[in-house]
Amino acid sequence: MQNLIRLLIKHNSLFLFLFLEIVCLILIINFNREQSKIFTATSNAFSGWMYNITNRVTRIRGISDELNKVTKNNAELFERLEVSKFNNIIVSDTAYNQEYLPQYKYVEAEVVNNTTNRPNNYLTINRGKNHKIKKNCAVIGGNGIVGIVLASNEKYSIIMSLLHQQTKISVATKKAGFFGSLIWSGTNSTIMDVEAIPKHAAVEIGDTIVTSGYSSMFPKEIIVGVIDKIEEEKGSPFHKIKVKLSEDLNRIKHVYVVQNLFQDDQLQLEKEIINEQ
């Protein structure tokens, strides 16, 4: 309180001036019709501007909340798809009993960092070990595949983007089922190459490329993109295919981490067989 009194005494001239200015302004507005109109119009304009700003902020918050709800609902819908379940067939003497076991779990996440202009690109998401995310989990977006989890701590994970020189993902033509490998040449962030699809396989520009399912990470038939260009090299038994990615990695904001609940079982068995050879 004493500090406030000292401040008022020290700057009493300034405060007196401001007080008189306010009194004069009130008198001018109240006893002059034109100035009153100007003040009223200005006040209304300012109030309207503040209302628009407040309304926009409220709308943005509402959109953000709705987007979070949509991403969570999408994760639940992904888990209900047939490709996200393990087909367990039990044979009996009388009939075939078919049981679908949950195989893939989807965790929604927000992209908090992303690069697309380097030879090897990465994304950072706001989900980690606290959300049971671990190395080698697949990552997809709303329109297609995105990458693979490289490392995680409790709250965040680093994703090796598709736009990485070590990318090699098993993919297939959706129409005929011929499979090959998806790789990145390191130039265009929207185009990738598919190798090892034989020339006797019928492929056309516009055909859809999907994940093959020959992986412990990606479920089958997750969209990758469409064939944009086909080049034939003399002497090569394979097509040279350019694929336009369906997921624009330059604008991606939300992703889904795919957890294969049977991944360890598959990898362990494959490792045992390889070690025996």
So what's the pLDDT on residue 100?
73
So what's the pLDDT on residue 26?
67
pLDDT digits (tens, 9 = 90+) for 71-124: 666 666 666 666 555 555 544 444 444 567 888 999 999 999 999 999 999 999
Read out DSSP for the chain? -HHHHHHHHHTHHHHHHHHHHHHHHHHHHHH-HHHHHHHHHHHHHHHHHHHHHHHHHHHHHHHHHHHHHHHHHHHHHHHHSGGGEEEEEEE-SS-EEEEEEE-EEEEEEEEEEE--SSSS-EEEES--GGGT--TT-EEE-SSSEEEEEEEE-SS-EEEEESSSTT--EEEEETTT--EEEEE--SS-TTEEEEE--BTTS---TT-EEEE-S-SSSSPTT-EEEEEEEEE--TT-SB-EEEEEESS-TTS--EEEEEEETTHHHHHHHHHHHHHH-
* Sequence spans of domains, the chain: 104-276
pLDDT digits (tens, 9 = 90+) for 167-203: 999 999 999 999 999 999 998 999 999 999 999 999 9
The values of phi and psi at residue 146, to 5°, are -125, -45
Look at residue 53 and tell me whether its pLDDT is greater than 70: no
So what's the pLDDT on residue 273?
87
What average pLDDT is seen over the chain? 82
Asked if 224 and 209 count as a contact pair (C-beta separation under 8 A), the reply is yes
Which residues, at least 6 apart from 182, have a Cβ–Cβ distance to it below 8 Å?
A: 162, 167, 168, 169, 170, 171, 192, 193, 194, 209, 224, 243
Q: What is the dihedral of CA 13, 16, 18, 20, to 10 degrees?
A: -140
So what's the pLDDT on residue 276?
78
So what's the pLDDT on residue 92?
43
So what's the pLDDT on residue 275?
82
So what's the pLDDT on residue 114?
96
So what's the pLDDT on residue 102?
85
Strand partners, 182: 169, 194
Top pLDDT among 20 and 255 is at: 255
Q: Over range 13-37, report the average pLDDT.
A: 65
Top pLDDT among 218 and 63 is at: 218
What band does 47 get if pLDDT is binned at 50, 70 and 90? low
Which residues, at least 6 apart from 207, have a Cβ–Cβ distance to it below 8 Å?
A: 173, 174, 175, 226, 227
Percent of the chain with pLDDT over 90: 55
So what's the pLDDT on residue 40?
57
* Residue carrying the six token digits 């100007």: 38
pLDDT digits (tens, 9 = 90+) for 121-158: 999 999 999 999 999 999 999 999 999 999 999 999 99
So what's the pLDDT on residue 78?
64
Look at residue 162 and tell me whether its pLDDT is greater than 80: yes
Output the pTM of the full model. 0.69
The values of phi and psi at residue 131, to 5°, are -105, 20
* Residue carrying the six token digits 């819908």: 77
CATH topology for the 104-276 domain: Thrombin, subunit H (2.40.10)
